[in-house]
Amino acid sequence: MSEELAARGQTTAAQVRKDLSHFGSFGKRGLGYRVRELRASLQRIIGVDRPWRVALVGAGRIGLALFEYPAFRARGYECVAIVDSDPEKIGTVWGNLTIRGPEEFETIVASLDVELIILAVPGPAAQELAARAVDAGVKGILNFAPIRLNVPPRVPVEDVNLIMELEALSFAITQAQRDA
């Protein structure tokens, strides 16, 4: 069982067991893990055993792709608001949501209980919006802007930097060729 999990996760059985043991004891010796139970426990530990309320900040190209991506909702991330500063976009409707202006941002976060934001605005706007989001009570940020956000340490930030991913590929390829 830990063997199979290891194979799927590209790691070793011992690592799987050690990692799980860090959070508790889930399996039965001689038997393995009961999948539904383990799954439920892990969901609870990770915090994905309940829906999360998300606001999309920046209704641009990447924002649109993300908004239309059904897997988010399927996994419990529910987009409850969209904010953009472009006057042409404010008031237009995406799905069941109307795009709002940034002056309403704090009100939206507070009234809709937004916990997470997806920040998909250009770099220069990102820091200010992040700070405002944090002040308004947002608890975490998924950041697509290519800057390091300066927020209090209690607010986790996950950066998505696709250029770094491409550069990691370039490095791996260059490296492999150097070896050969």
Length of the chain: 180
Q: Which is nearer to DNA, 30 or 47 (CB)?
A: 30
- Lookup result for tokens 């590209």: 10
In the bound complex, what is the minimum distance in angstroms from residue 102's beta carbon to a copy of itself? Answer: 21
Q: Is 165 in the site for ligand NAD (CB under 6 A)?
A: no
In the bound complex, what is the minimum distance in angstroms from residue 80's beta carbon to ligand NAD? Answer: 16
Sign (positive or negative) of CA dihedral 139, 112, 122, 74: positive
What are the structure tokens assigned to 15, written together? 């690592």
The contact pattern for ligand NAD, residues 92-131, with x = CB under 6 A and - = no contact, is ----------x-----------------xxxx-x---x--
108: how many CB neighbours lie within 10 A of its CB?
20
Q: How far is Cα 56 from Cα 95, in angstroms, rounded to an integer?
A: 13
Phi and psi at residue 92, to the nearest 5°: -75, 160
In the bound complex, what is the minimum distance in angstroms from residue 119's beta carbon to a copy of itself? Answer: 12
Q: Is 145 in the site for ligand NAD (CB under 6 A)?
A: yes
- Helix, strand, or coil (residue 78): strand
Judged by CB under 7 A, the chain residues 4 through 43 that form the site for DNA are: 11-15, 17-18, 20-21, 25-33
* Footprint on this chain of ligand NAD (rule: CB under 6 A): 58-63, 65-66, 69, 71, 83-86, 89, 102, 120-123, 125, 129, 144-146, 162
